[in-house]
């Protein structure tokens, strides 16, 4: 065996920079993706056929094509149409649109899982559809949506490594660069793996807290 | 107070209400009976616009409900459902305060005071901070009635309010409804509790297959039905 983590210790600041970039990418694209997902999910359950169709086309395209292709179109393809995005912009946009498409389906099924009687009770008390959605359906749906959303978020964080291919120096690409000077593949990739694991564990811990807070009414 | 003028309702191709005419006067208590699937719930749901009607008109105090805003209508018409539909993420008192706060934009203290007094009235004053999942069915239905009363409706609709309850819990809910009736609330009730119907109803309506077959005072309709179909239905449920 010939493992030597000490040779890569001097690169720790670089790892931390890369991890920080991954965290930034993830937080921004998850936040935008979640907003897109909520908007998309509401469109999917809307009474307007136009809205439903827009949401359908969106999820159809972004769930039906590889993230890598989406990122390459945004970064390498769009300039041909005169739209030039910075790598970071293209990366955020791609990850957010992709995450949003999956979140749309999760939000839709979360809303549809709530008994129809809840909205009927709200309506019969004089609440508008939007107040009913915000005050009655939303809180109940978000509770059941948390576990699948967390799954999706974890997937997005892992998928963020793909933006290394559109030249963003996030965690994975940073590691690759370090390997080219140290030739320590095993050490570098394991460290990268551990960092992803730490980021995702933090996310799971936060989600666990949130879920517990929201299920106050479940204790009997 | 309520008047149906030749109301037709379809679900897809199924003709569910067939030219229904009916009226409910101020302070009147009308009980609707009839076999399963005859359209009783649909009549109630049309009154507070949970269902759209295909033709005819429904007047509320002389004005067509089709032209009124849901929020306006619902402050005047309360509905109690067979399966309660309390909001499970809110406590008992929050359930009752929700509509006054968000529809009437009432101040919090005022809404709380109103909710406490209504919950005391239905005998739930000691469960203010419980969640619906911690209550029995009878208790949940009493909270649902208080929730509805918080909007000060002029007319209450009850759709089989005791059908989902264990037999020993039926009485406490009927008691609350009887008290409301005695206070002069106008009501439309769907129920299979014939003893209760006889006691509170000013008028009983018998429906079958989307039509009103017969209507009369409890004594007339229950003891002396004119129509064969009514007789058949009564003989079946009174056994
Ligand atoms: N949302 C719906 N979509 C399609 N058909 C419906 C819908 N709601 C009710 N129906 C049909 O309309 C008819 C009348 O239903 P309704 O619920 O008014 O009957 P009901 O008299 O209340 O019966 P029950 O005593 O079983 O409650 C039934 O045949 C039912 O299958
Ligand atoms: Mg019914």
Strand partners for B15: B10
| pLDDT, tens digit, 9 for 90 and up, residues B56-78 | 999 998 888 888 877 778 789 99
Kindly state if the Cβ of B230 falls inside 6 Å of ligand 1: no
Residue B161: phi and psi, rounded to 5, are -65, -15
Question: Which protein residue has the closest C-alpha to ligand 1 atom 3?
Answer: B11
Q: Which residue is listed with tokens 């970064």?
A: A75
Residue keyed to tokens 């998928």: A159
Beta bridge partners, B78, equal B156
Closest-CA residue of chain B to A214: B89
Gap between the Cα atoms of A123 and A131, Å rounded: 9
Paired tokens of A70: 């989406």
- pLDDT computed for residue B69 by the predictor: 78
Is the predicted pLDDT of residue A31 greater than 80, yes or no? Answer: yes
Residue pair A87/A167 in contact (Cβ under 8 Å)? The answer is: yes
CB burial class (10 A; 0-12, 13-18, 19+) of residue B146?
buried
pLDDT tens-digit profile of B163-218?
Answer: 999 999 999 999 999 999 999 999 999 999 999 999 999 999 999 999 999 999 99
pLDDT at residue A219 is higher than 60: no
Mean pLDDT of chain A: 94
Tell me the ipTM for this assembly. Answer: 0.93
Cβ-based burial of A29 (10 A; exposed 0-12, middle 13-18, buried ≥19): buried
Distance CA(B27)–CA(B63), nearest Å, equals 18
Mean pLDDT in residue range A195-216: 89
Residue B111 phi, psi (nearest 5):
-65, -40
CA nearest neighbour of B41 among B139, B161, B202, B197? B161
Tens of pLDDT along B112-143?
999 999 999 999 999 999 999 999 999 999 99
Structural element, H or E, at residue B203: strand B203-208
Q: B151: which chain A residues are within 8 Å (Cβ-Cβ)?
A: 125-126
Q: Which ligand is nearest to the CA of B40?
A: 1
Spacing, Cα B198 to ligand 1 middle (Å): 25
- pLDDT score of B109: 97
Do residues B33 and B39 touch, judged by C-beta distance below 8 A?
A: no
pLDDT at A153 over 60: yes
Q: What per-residue confidence (pLDDT) applies to A220?
A: 43
Cβ B9 under 6 angstroms from ligand 1: no
Pocket test for ligand 1, best of B7, B14, B36, B37 (most atoms within 8 A of CB): B37
Structure token digits, residue B96: 């009752």
Nearest partner of A63 among A32, A98, A26, A110, judged by Cα: A98
A159's tokens? 């998928």
Contact B197, B189 (CB under 8 A): yes
Averaged pLDDT for residues A196-218: 86
Structure tokens, A27: 């937080």
CB contact under 8 A, A118 and B98: no
| Mean pLDDT (whole number) for A62-79 | 97
For chain A, percent of residues with pLDDT exceeding 70: 97
| Ramachandran region, residue B123 (left: φ > 0; alpha: ψ -120 to 50; beta: rest) | left
Residues in chain B: 239
Q: Which residue, among A117, A126, A218, A220, would best test binding to B if mutated, counting the most B CBs under 10 Å from its CB?
A: A126
Contact status of A47 with chain B (Cβ, < 8 Å):
no
- Ligand 1 contacts CB of residue B39 (under 6 A): yes
Q: In what order do the strands lie in the sheet with B77-80?
A: B77-80, B155-159, B186-190, B29-33, B203-208, B211-216
Please state the rounded mean pLDDT for residues A52-67: 97
Mean pLDDT of A192-201: 96
Task: Write out pLDDT tens, residues B28-65.
Answer: 999 999 999 999 999 999 998 999 999 999 999 888 88
**Cβ proximity of A156 and A33 under 8 Å:** yes
In tens, the pLDDT along A119-150 reads 999 999 999 999 999 999 999 999 999 999 99
Phi-psi category of residue B203: left, alpha or beta, with phi > 0 → left and psi -120 to 50 → alpha = beta
What angle do helix axes A138-159 and A12-44 make, rounded to 10 degrees? 140
Q: How confident is the model at residue B239 (pLDDT cuts 50, 70, 90)?
A: low
Strand B63-64 relative to strand B14-24, pairing: unpaired
Least confident window among A106-115, B67-76, B94-103: B67-76
Taking residues A177-202, what's their average pLDDT? Answer: 94
DSSP 8-class letter at B52: -
Angle between helices B92-102 and B137-149 (to 10 degrees): 20
């Amino acid at each position: 065996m010939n493992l030597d983590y000490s040779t890569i210790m001097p690169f720790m600041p670089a790892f931390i920079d890369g991890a920080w970039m991954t965290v930034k990418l993830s937080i921004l694209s998850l936040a935008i993706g979640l907003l897109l997902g909520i908007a998309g999910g509401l469109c999917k359950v809307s009474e307007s056929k136009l809205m439903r169709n827009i949401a359908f086309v969106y999820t159809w395209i972004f769930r039906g094509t590889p993230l890598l292709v989406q990122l390459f179109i945004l970064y390498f393809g769009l300039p041909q149409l005169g739209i030039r995005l910075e790598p970071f912009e293209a990366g955020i946009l791609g990850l957010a649109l992709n995450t949003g498409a999956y979140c749309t389906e999760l939000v839709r099924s979360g809303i549809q899982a709530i008994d129809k009687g809840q909205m009927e009770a709200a309506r019969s008390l004089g609440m508008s559809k939007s107040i009913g959605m915000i005050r009655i359906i939303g809180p109940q749906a978000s509770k059941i949506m948390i576990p699948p959303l967390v799954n999706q978020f974890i997937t997005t964080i892992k998928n963020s490594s793909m933006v290394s291919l559109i030249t963003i120096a996030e965690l994975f690409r940073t590691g690759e660069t370090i390997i080219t000077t140290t030739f320590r593949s095993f050490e570098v990739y394991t460290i990268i793996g551990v960092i992803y694991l730490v980021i995702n564990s933090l996310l799971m811990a936060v989600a666990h807290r949130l879920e517990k807070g929201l299920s106050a009414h479940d204790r009997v | 107070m309520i008047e149906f003028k030749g109301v037709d309702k379809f679900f897809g191709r199924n003709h569910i209400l067939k030219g229904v005419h009916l009226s409910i006067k101020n302070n009147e208590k009308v009980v609707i009976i009839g076999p399963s699937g005859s359209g009783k719930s649909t009549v109630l749901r049309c009154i507070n616009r949970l269902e759209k009607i295909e033709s005819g008109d429904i007047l509320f105090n002389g004005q067509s409900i089709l032209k009124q805003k849901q929020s306006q209508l619902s402050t005047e018409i309360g509905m109690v459902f067979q399966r309660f539909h309390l909001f499970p993420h809110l406590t008992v008192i929050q359930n009752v305060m929700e509509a006054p706060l968000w529809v009437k934009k009432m101040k919090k203290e005022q809404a709380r005071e109103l909710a406490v007094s209504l919950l005391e009235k239905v005998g739930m004053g000691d469960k203010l901070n419980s969640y619906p999942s911690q209550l029995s069915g009878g208790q949940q239905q009493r909270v649902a009635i208080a929730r509805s009363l918080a909007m000060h409706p002029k007319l209450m609709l009850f759709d089989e309010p005791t059908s989902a309850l264990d037999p020993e819990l039926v009485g406490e809910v009927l008691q609350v409804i009887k008290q409301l009736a005695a206070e002069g609330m106008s009501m439309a009730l769907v129920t299979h509790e014939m003893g209760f119907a006889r006691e509170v109803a000013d008028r009983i309506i018998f429906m079958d297959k989307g039509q009103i077959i017969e209507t009369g005072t409890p004594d007339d309709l229950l003891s002396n039905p004119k129509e064969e179909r009514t007789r058949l239905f009564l003989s079946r449920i009174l056994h």
